[in-house]
Chain A
Amino acid sequence: DFVVTQSPDSLAVSLGERATINCKSSQSVLYSSNNKNYLAWYQQKPGQPPKLLISWASTRESGVPDRFSGSGSGTDFTLTINSLQAEDVAVYYCQQYYDTLPAFGQGTKLEI
């Protein structure tokens, strides 16, 4: 079974600074036939459903500000938020979709 683990569980960053969230999968999510990493990032603001931010480990969804970026390959991934804004306060989840049964990390709560 795939296990996805995020670190840290919570993070406090000052406005304008950089936030870094890590995600580790128990197995590689890199599909060799297409060289794609089946790893996504979601943002969930209080009282709202999650929102897809990044797919394929590093592809921003339409409308997502370019201060959000994803990186990594295989089993280790990072979500970086540059120039943190007040509206970025949320819980961030990574998700592997390599396996038939998708799995989320436990979430990282980002605070100012």
Chain B
Amino acid sequence: QVQLVESGGGVVQPGGSLTLSCAASGFTFRSYGMHWVRQAPGKGLEWVAFIRFDTSNAYYIDSVKGRFTVSKDNSRNTVSLQMNGLRGEDTAVYYCAKDRGYRSPDGLLENWGQGTLVTVSS
């Protein structure tokens, strides 16, 4: 079955950097796009970024554009989120999620990991 396991969360100072990783298994990773979604403590879901199955393109919410970079390693079945210039408002649980679309993004987040907590604080 599909498994997504995030790692890399932790406490970081404002302005700092952190890289999250998501290890995927149970499906043909190279054929599916991957999303990152975050959830601030006690708040709702916020879609953050998406990378196409073949890494040909990536998309970001405006508030992280230029600071966050999503990458996908189809040889290692991992997707990563490099986060720079972190701010207090980036504090959240970050989930990776598999897009349902086979070789074509569909926007449905079919499977989710358990999430990893990022806390931005001095």
Contacts and interface: CB of A to CB of B under 8 A. Distances in A.
A91 B45 CA distance: 10
A104 B44 contact: yes
B47 A101 contact: yes
A54 to B, nearest CB: 10
Most chain-A Cβ atoms within 10 A of its Cβ — which of B45, B112, B114?
B45
B46 A97 contact: no
Mostly, the B contact residues are strand
Contacts of A91: 44
Nearest to B44: A107
A40 B112 contact: no
A91 B44 CA distance: 9
* Size bracket, chain A contacts: 20 to 34
A97 B104 CA distance: 13
A48 to B, nearest CB: 8
A106 B44 contact: yes
B3 to A, nearest CB: 12
A51 B107 contact: no
A103 interface: yes
A97 B59 contact: no
Given A49-B115, A52-B109, A100 B45 contact: no
A42 B44 CA distance: 12
A109 to B, nearest CB: 10
Given A100-B59, A104-B46, A107-B44, A50 B107 contact: no
Interface string A64-100: 0000000000000000000000000001010101101
Contacts of B45: 42, 44, 50, 93, 95, 104, 107
Interface of B: 35, 37, 44-47, 50, 59, 61, 95, 100, 106-110, 112-115
Q: Which 7 A-B pairs have the closest CB atoms?
A: A97-B107, A49-B112, A107-B44, A104-B45, A102-B47, A106-B44, A102-B107
